[in-house]
């Protein structure tokens, strides 16, 4: 009887442990340098950060590549445990998910095509009305520009498509997060960047509302990575 009990307990713990050792992480790898594909693999600042957090939690990261506007629904329906996607912790999103402590401060910028005369009077957000402006569907830039009256907003599925339209003079400006924007400007001749005074945004890791324990574990692991210098190493690797 005792033997049977022990066997049963071992079985239970294997099942329980086996279930917990994987962390399903959703991202949308079109957001350099936070997440992008390299030889089909998801890499970048966010990828390194969550891998390091996973290591602290003793959990193996299993990646799910999802369209950006599908990430929150995937989390809510428990297809994934975590989102790390350069995702801004907005008040609106906080209604649906819990966010970790912020791990990166960013802002929205305006990208122009200096070869397009129709773009040249754009110096700030106030100049956007009566222009066609490219944004990525569901990004915070989309939300911000949608509040400005009389802008002809063109929504794209990814930042590269918005940039292509800018180069082809199909839109006169693109609004995007500062770090990916800097990279597009660096790699595409003729593009220029205007910083805006629009409020700063903070990127956070999202977990589902009822998983408060995971949120706490992530915050604790994140704090350890900051304290032991690993976070700074990641900053140096991707942003210096």
Assigned token pair, 43? 């890499």
Separation CA 175–CA 112 (nearest Å): 9
DSSP one-letter string for 50-92: HHHHHHHHT-EEEEEE--GGGHHHHHHTTS-SEE-SS-B--HH
Separation CA 53–CA 51 (nearest Å): 5
Provide the mask over 123-162, with x wherever binding to ligand ARG is found by CB under 6 A and - wherever it is not.
----------------xx----------------------
Provide the mask over 50-69, with x wherever binding to ligand ARG is found by CB under 6 A and - wherever it is not.
------------------x-
Provide the mask over 192-221, with x wherever binding to ligand ARG is found by CB under 6 A and - wherever it is not.
------------------------------
**Does 177 interact with ligand ARG (rule: CB under 6 A)?**
yes
HSE-CB at 36 with a 13 A cutoff on CA atoms is 14
State the minimum distance, in angstroms, from the CB of residue 186 to ligand ARG: 18
Binding region for ligand ARG (CB under 6 A) out of 15-23, 26-34, 115-123, 209-217: 26-34
**Does 28 interact with ligand ARG (rule: CB under 6 A)?**
yes
Separation CA 206–CA 216 (nearest Å): 12
Nearer CB in complex with ligand ARG: 46/217: 46
**Does 85 interact with ligand ARG (rule: CB under 6 A)?**
yes
Radius of gyration of the chain (CA): 21
Separation CA 231–CA 103 (nearest Å): 9
Nearer CB in complex with ligand ARG: 122/162: 162
Where does this chain bind ligand ARG (CB under 6 A)? Answer: 27-28, 30-31, 35, 68, 85-88, 139-140, 177
């Amino acid at each position: 009887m005792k033997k049977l009990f022990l066997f049963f307990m071992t079985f239970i713990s294997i099942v329980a442990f086996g279930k917990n050792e994987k962390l399903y992480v959703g991202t949308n790898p079109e957001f350099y340098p936070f997440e992008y594909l390299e030889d089909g693999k998801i890499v970048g600042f966010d990828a390194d950060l969550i891998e390091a957090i996973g290591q602290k939690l003793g959990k193996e990261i299993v990646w799910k590549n999802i369209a950006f506007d599908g990430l929150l629904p995937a989390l809510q329906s428990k297809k994934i445990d975590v989102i790390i996607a350069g995702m801004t912790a907005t008040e609106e999103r906080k209604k649906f998910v819990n966010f970790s402590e912020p791990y990166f401060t960013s802002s929205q910028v305006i990208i122009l095509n200096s070869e397009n005369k129709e773009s040249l009077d754009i110096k700030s957000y106030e100049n956007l009305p009566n222009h066609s402006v490219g944004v990525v569907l569901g990004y915070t830039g989309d939300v911000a520009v949608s509040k400005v009256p009389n802008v002809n907003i063109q929504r794209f599925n990814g930042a590269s498509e918005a940039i292509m339209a800018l180069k082809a003079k199909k839109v006169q400006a693109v609004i995007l997060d500062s770090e990916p924007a800097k990279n597009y400007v660096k790699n595409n001749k003729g593009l220029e960047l205007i910083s805006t005074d629009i409020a700063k945004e903070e990127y956070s890791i999202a977990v589902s509302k009822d998983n408060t324990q995971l949120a706490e574990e992530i915050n604790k692991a994140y704090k350890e990575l900051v304290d032991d210098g690993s976070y700074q190493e990641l900053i140096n690797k991707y942003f210096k």
